Amino acid sequence: MMRTWKRLGLESSALGLGCWPVSGTWNDPDAARGWIGVTDEESIRAIRAAVEHGVTLFDTADTYGAGHSERLLGEALRGRRERVLIATKFGHTFDEERRATLPEVDGSPAYLRRAVEASLRRLGTDRIDLYQLHIWDHPLERAEEVVGALERLVDEGKIRTYGWSTDRLAGVQAFARGPRCGAAQVMLNPFEGNDPLNALCEAEGLAMLCRSPLAMGLLSGKYDGGAALPKDDVRASNFPWIAWFKDGRATPAFTQRLAAAREVLRSGGRTLVQGALAWIWAKSPAAIPIPGFKSVAQAVENARAMEKGPLGAAEAAEVSRLIGYVSREQ
């Protein structure tokens, strides 16, 4: 399964992999933003296995692991760079030496230029295929100056295209005015999404990278038993934007909704994970889910969802009904 990024004619697999989990844990003054149960060696093997199974898009951010995710991705893709697209993000500040998150965000053109050079160095590449603003609520009145700075980076060959990781419709509209804006990153899974934003991406020809396609792992069905994750896992952080877990445990209301749609998601010999990804493909022809992974097995399971393709229209509608899909418009 492939996707053509219509604005620019780029092509990628219909599934990418999100590289936040492979960053592991790092220092954060507020709460854990990392993931437990991951090693660099397994992560590198997983990335390379995904490439062999047809994945040609990898999404990361400079702040993941305070630069560690980018460095690891660059190492894993050494000798494979020409086979894939690399997406990364900017805007959150961090101390790479101390591997620590800092509280400030910075979306200024001056910071953007320093950030892209640092990301290129960590990734070990001469260009970034998709460069994304990572500040959800960056002021809309400053979007034009960010787009201008990104357009200059395209002219210089440092990036190929750009987008905004946000669920704010007005934000994606502002970026889409840029002639070489090629994508947006939005939240979409069978529990919730933003239908007007999905429609905008389709109308504007933007590739739609879908973050949290598995609701941070809840849609795998592995957390139904109620066991708590360690406190240094981001899913135990109680950040308000993580609804699927509370105090490190799967939220019962969501596990019950998943149970209602379990059999339809598993139709056609799919796993629950593959069913959730197949629902996203049925939802929009622009959708490119980017599930996270922490092992070779998870990366391959995600990749092999492409072998079965999207759910049929009737199946997808039934999942939406049973699971109680909600469009949260912003």
> What residue segments make up the domains of the chain, in order of their start?
2-215+272-309
Q: What sign does the CA torsion over 145, 150, 153, 154 have?
A: negative
Query: Can you give the length of the chain in residues?
Result: 330
Contact assessment for residue 17 and residue 292, using Cβ atoms and an 8 Å cutoff: yes
Q: Which CATH architecture has domain 2-215+272-309?
A: Alpha-Beta Barrel (3.20)
pLDDT of 51 strictly over 90: yes
Q: What is the CA radius of gyration of the chain?
A: 18
Specify the pLDDT at position 33.
Answer: 87
Mean pLDDT within 41-45: 98
CA distance 330 to 327: 10
Task: Note if 64 is an active site residue.
Answer: yes
Specify the pLDDT at position 175.
Answer: 98
Contact assessment for residue 113 and residue 149, using Cβ atoms and an 8 Å cutoff: yes
Mean pLDDT within 121-141: 97
Specify the pLDDT at position 185.
Answer: 98
pLDDT of 30 strictly over 80: no
pLDDT digits (tens, 9 = 90+) for 159-198: 999 999 999 999 999 999 999 999 999 999 999 999 999 9
pLDDT digits (tens, 9 = 90+) for 60-84: 999 999 999 999 999 999 999 999 9
Specify the pLDDT at position 247.
Answer: 93
Instruction: Provide the mean pLDDT of the chain.
Output: 96
Does the reported pTM lie above 0.85? Answer: yes
Specify the pLDDT at position 29.
Answer: 67
pLDDT of 225 strictly over 90: no
Per-residue confidence band for 119, with pLDDT thresholds at 50, 70 and 90: very high
